[in-house]
Amino acid sequence: MPRYARAEREALADLMLEVGPDAPTINEGWTARDLAAHLVVRERRPDAAGGILLPPLHGYAERVRLRVAARPWSELVDQVRRPPVWSPVSNPLTDELANTMEFFIHHEDVRRARPGWHPRDVPAGLAARLWKPVSLLTRTRARRFPAHLLVQAPGHGELTAGRGGDRVRLVGPPGELVLFLSGRQRVARVQLDGPPALTERLRTAALGL
């Protein structure tokens, strides 16, 4: 079975070493060092990882992340590359499920912050794997969108969300849809059709966590 999570992790670690700790990312205000620290906390600090999603714990999680970010760059990237086998999100049983989308997104966070970037060829198996979480992202991130939103990935399927009314169509490969629906609309290569005011609202909506 292809290990897409491992491949995206390795590619991200290699790219981080290439661009250096101060390289920008798509995440506003975050450098490659900030992103690496986020990933290390997510996998190695379960006491703080909850703060990534839970606002009451965010302050503690951020303090831990900043301490982790102060580690030597090569050490930090090595910890991204080699997660602990005991981690709830990175052990052999959970790695593909928990990390394929996570590391695809963060790999693109670094790739697409560089001048002259262009979408890469995504293997068919990885595209199929990324289509699966598009359903969850569509339901959770676009459920309150004030239109009938049709999300289509040619060759993979289609989904609907929103509150109904005028129709807006969002079309793209699964990887681009994942990026769009995770709040990276400005770098996602998708097609949007519908009333201009609604398509612009979707392009600028706060879809990320």
Sketch out the chain's domains with CATH numbers: 4-112 (no CATH), 125-204 (3.30.1050)
Q: Residue 135's pLDDT band (boundaries 50, 70, 90)?
A: very high
Of 128, 196, 144, whose CA–CA distance to 168 is shortest? 196
156-169 pLDDT, tens per residue? 999 999 999 999 99
For residue 192, pLDDT over 70 is answered with yes
The pLDDT of residue 57: 79
Integer Cα distance of 156 and 118 in angstroms: 22
Q: Name the average pLDDT for the chain.
A: 94
The model's pLDDT over 59-93, given as tens digits with 9 standing for 90+, comes to 998 899 999 999 999 999 999 999 999 999 999 99
- For the segment 32-61, what is each residue's pLDDT rounded down to a tens digit? 999 999 999 999 998 887 877 778 878 998
Residue 1 has pLDDT above 70, yes or no: no
Predicted TM-score (pTM) above 0.75? yes
